[in-house]
Amino acid sequence: MSYKIPMGPYHPGLEEPYKLEMICEGETVQDAKLHIGFNFRGIERLAETRNYIQVIALMERVCGICSNIHTLTLCQAMEQLTGLEPAPRAKYIRVVMAELERLHSHVLWAGIASKLMGFKTMFMTCFALREKVMDVLQAISGNRVNYAMNRIGGVNRDIADPRALVPMVDDLEREMMRTIIPIFTTSATARSRCAGIGILTHEKAVSCGVVGPTARASGVAQDLRRAAPYAAYEEMEFETPTEQAGDVRARLFVRALEIMESCRILRQALIKMPPGEIDAGDSKLVFAPGTAISRVEAPRGEVMYSVSWKENSRNPSRVHVRTPTYANMPAIRWMVRGARLADTPLIQASIDPCYSCTDR
């Protein structure tokens, strides 16, 4: 006999409000239905009432973890409409901030995944390391969250001595190599809780259109930093980690490997950062009427902004955001099919969902 089990919209296994309604036979999930829309904030509508300076501060608050990526994507779209080209040094600083934010996001996710596994010692280790990442972000921007670094035509703050940050990056890398990577890749706890559950096949990943680490864990080697480079990524050498198993453990492996690649990119960006200006000046901006599209590889996958402007207006007429969670969340239905009911909190967390930024 089948029965329905609702997980959410408020549940200990969920960080944010959404509802996963599962149809079970005994302890096995046969199917699931996803419900969202519990946390609508109206940010896109508010963007139409803000000028081009205020809208940057507003869109930085779409997501607390990926705030820098949202302003970067927005500013790149507005740079297309104004014809401004950021200086080379500004592009390097954007890469530094983007990769530090990727480290922050992946380490935070690793801590949450550890907690859901019942691996509380690892949870504390991940969050202690997260503090070190946030210390570097604070050293650059003055803030631990919402860094206010991006502006149209460049960045707001310079990195006075980029090479001075290299030892901090080296320390982060050593700590990750010493603790997080070995434990997640060799631990019996991680293996028993993650291997073989929440499988998303390569074919289903392609048909669902998933993005980011979720796609790469299913063998889809997509990464906008390589496929459509922005900022200074054309000048960086790095790999795109992929796994073929498509299970929770593969998604864990991909993020662990991406942590190492982010450290590699950070070291290159800090050492090779060119001298020069960091913004295009404070002259009044003139926006060409029309629509611009910008795409960036956020920690969770592709973020896309569509920004529309009318002639002689200080405010955008439309700002539309597609977050990576919006692309990834339909795949949860296929991941939980055939899974044990007890594994579903970890499975849904394996896409690193941000439902509040999806609901906006």
User: Which pLDDT score is estimated for 88?
Assistant: 93
**Cα gap 167→149, rounded to integer Å:** 22
H-type alpha helices, 142-294: 166-175, 181-186, 188-194, 202-208, 212-216, 224-227, 248-272
User: Which pLDDT score is estimated for 253?
Assistant: 87
- Residue pointed to by tokens 């949450």: 112
**pLDDT of 350 over the 90 cut:** no
User: What pLDDT digit, counting tens, does each position of 77-96 carry?
Assistant: 999 999 999 999 999 999 99
User: What pLDDT digit, counting tens, does each position of 262-279 carry?
Assistant: 999 999 999 999 999 998
**pLDDT of 13 over the 60 cut:** no
**pLDDT of 212 over the 80 cut:** yes
Q: What is the average pLDDT across 98-109? A: 92
Backbone angles phi, psi at 166, to 5 degrees: -60, -45
- 120 close to 307: Cβ distance less than 8 angstroms: no
**Cα gap 85→198, rounded to integer Å:** 43
Q: What is the average pLDDT across 43-56? A: 92
Q: What are residue 194's DSSP bridge partners? A: none
Q: What is the average pLDDT across 41-66? A: 90
Q: What is the average pLDDT across 42-57? A: 92
Range among 243-247, 304-308, 311-315 rated most confident: 304-308
User: Which pLDDT score is estimated for 354?
Assistant: 82
User: Which pLDDT score is estimated for 322?
Assistant: 92
**pLDDT of 14 over the 70 cut:** no
| All residues at 6 or more sequence positions from 178 whose CB lies less than 8 Å from its CB, including other chains | none
- 256 close to 242: Cβ distance less than 8 angstroms: no
**Cα gap 350→49, rounded to integer Å:** 36
**Cα gap 77→234, rounded to integer Å:** 19
Q: What is the average pLDDT across 322-351? A: 88
Q: What is the average pLDDT across 115-125? A: 82
User: What pLDDT digit, counting tens, does each position of 215-240 carry?
Assistant: 999 999 999 999 999 999 999 999 99
Give the percent of the chain with pLDDT over 90: 46
User: What pLDDT digit, counting tens, does each position of 145-190 carry?
Assistant: 889 999 999 999 999 889 888 888 888 888 888 887 787 777 777 7
**pLDDT of 343 over the 90 cut:** no
User: Which pLDDT score is estimated for 231?
Assistant: 92
User: What pLDDT digit, counting tens, does each position of 310-334 carry?
Assistant: 988 889 999 999 999 889 988 999 9
Question: Quick one: 287 exposed, middle or buried, by C-beta within 10 A (0-12, 13-18, 19+)?
Answer: buried
Domains annotated for the chain, with CATH where assigned, are: 42-328 (1.10.645.10)
